[in-house]
Structure formats: structure tokens, C-alpha cells
Structure 1
Amino acid sequence: MSGFFGPLDPQGRVPPHQQTRVAAFLTSAHGALARQFAFALPAKLVSAWQTELNAQVYHEAEIVSLLLRATSWVPDLALGYLSMSWETAWFPQPAEGIPDQPLARAVSLATLAHAVHAGIRPAALLPREANADDPFVMALRRIELESGRLLQAQILFLKGPELLAHRDAVSAALEHRHVETRKLWTSALEGVGIVVHKS
């Protein structure tokens, strides 16, 4: 087991079975976010955080599109049952302790997005000798940059004035999402010989 992708091929490319597993996981997570952001959008935008929801739908869809095209896909028999566990984990989980149900659902979505963008850092798995011009390598680095930008929107909402009275509920929901997402990510990587070092 290694903390990085590899062994790389002579052209510095990530092995296709590792590309497939990682891209499948990321496609599942970002695809779920795109769907949930789309369903959360109201017919008329009435607050600042709702305008950000609109932008995030397209950013998540762009990440999925990029992965589908940049990955060297190969058969992975484990993806059948793994995908079911991933998709189940992304289901909305309205935050407990917030009586306003639309707000509780928005917190659920923001905490999931925060866990995905902050807790999953696939570009950190790239060894220094990875081919910088390889489409998969470039895609992971682009996703990392995009995740940093999107993360700021989730932080602004979760720390915003609308949730000031619900700090404990937000913190509990955020911690739960991070633990769950990290566990799934770690398991997916271990299945293709990558171990995530815990800080």
C-alpha cells in the first residue's frame, strides 16, 4: 500500500484501475451534489445563498463532465456494490435541531458539499513524477482548485447569520458528514492499493 497513485507507467500516468476507482467515487459524489443543488433551487431566487446554489449546480456538473472525459476507464467489478453504498451515503439528511425544514435541508446539502470539497483531495495523491500534461492528472488538479473556491461558499453559508441560532446542530451535522465521507473515500482508495495517511 502507498500513500500515492502508482506505480506510474513510463509516461508518468496513473494506472487505469486507480483512475477508474477514484473517478467513479468523485463522479458519484459530485453528481449527487449537482442533483441536490438543482432540486434545492427555488423557482425565484430570494437570498444571496440561493444565487450561489445556482452557480454550484453548474460547477458540480462541470467536474463530472471533466472526469468522464479525462479518465482512462477499465472494468472494476467492485463498483457495483461500492456505488450503491456511495449513493446511499449522499442521500439528504436534514439537520436535526433546525425546525425550519427548508433551512435544515439547505444545511444538509451544504455540509455534504463541505465534506466532499474539504475532505476529498485527490490531487494530493499524485506523486511528483506524475505527468503534468496527462488529462487525468490535469483534471484532478483542476478539481482541487475548483473545490477550494466552492468550499468558500459553503463556509459563508454555514457560518452565516441565518444559522447563528443553530450552531450546535450545524456542527453536529458537519462532523457526521465528514466522518462518513472520509470513511467511504478511505475504503475506496484502499481497494486499489492507496492508503490515506490520517493527520
Structure 2
Amino acid sequence: MVCKNQNCKNEFCWVCLGSWEPHGSSWYNCNRYDEDEAKTARDAQEKLRSSLARYLHYYNRYMNHMQSMKFENKLYASVKQKMEEMQQHNMSWIEVQFLKKAVDILCQCRQTLMYTYVFAYYLEKNNQSMIFEDNQKDLESATEMLSEYLERDITSENLADIKQKVQDKYRYCEKWCSVLLKHVHEGYDKEWWEYTE
């Protein structure tokens, strides 16, 4: 068998999963099953599978936040319309600025989360990386909730409730984003972070 990847082109035996090289130049010369060689090949294959799964975990989360950030940029237009509607319902320009501030913070959190997944991919597991991942998880959860609040239809009946929820959540997100970034910087200063190769 030959790997179809243009960069790889590795040749291996489909029977024993070992390298093709020891089989000789004949088309088929594998009449014995070598348990050790097969185990080594399976272990290497499992290690690669695990490495790919780990990479995809972080890549997918990075891409999800990038896509959400693009959506949030479109949210500005929607928020602008909501702000104009709210001003027509006897609210001042200053009173409706909370919506723009919320979208600003939402985009900032998305960008932070996007790059924290790149950072997390290279981190070795230790106590500080576990704290980092917990902070990241809390920020991600709060960010998703803020996004959900901003996507709701705002009517005169639910305006006070939505306004309070949006303001509380964007303040929480802003604070947690700051906590997460401060922890990363502190980790650099105190050399807490260890990286994978």
C-alpha cells in the first residue's frame, strides 16, 4: 500500500502494517505475522489519530469563534436598527448605547477566545493550564449567553429585562476576558507555561 498524501508516499504492507522495505523487492513477501512490528505500527497509527483529534478539537473551536465573530460584525447593523427603534420609543441616544457596547465587548471576547485556543493547543498540561482552561470555559459560556441575549427581539414589554441582562452579561464578559488575559501574561512573567513540541 502507498499513502496517497503527496508529502508522505509511505509504502507499507497491508497485512502486517509494517514498512514495505523489509519485505524485499518482490510484490508479496509477508508470510509471517510479526506481533511486535504490528503492535508498533498500530501504536504509531493510534498516536497519529490521537494527535489529529487533539488538533481538530482546537482548530474547530478556533474556527467556530472566527465564524461567530464574522456574524457578530453583521450584528452591528441589526443593533443599529434596534437602537433607532428604541429611540423612537422615548429612549435617548445615550440610553441605547448599551447595545453597541455589548456588541463591541462580544467581538472582543470572540477574538480573545479564538486566540486562546491557539495558545491552549501548544500548552502542556499542568495546574496553571487547567486554571487557564477553566477561565476560558467561563468566558466562552458567558460570551455565548451574551450573544443569545443580543439576538433576541427587543420589544417595549421586554426592554427593561433585556437591557439589564445584556448590561450584566457584557460587564461579566469584559471582566472575565480581562482575568483570562491577565492570567496568560502572569504565566509568561512567572514562567508557568510549558509547551508541547
Fold shared by both chains (TM-score > 0.5): no
Which structure carries more relative contact order (alpha carbon 8 Å, separation 6+)?
1
Larger Rg: 2
Give the TM-score normalised by the residue count of structure 2. 0.29
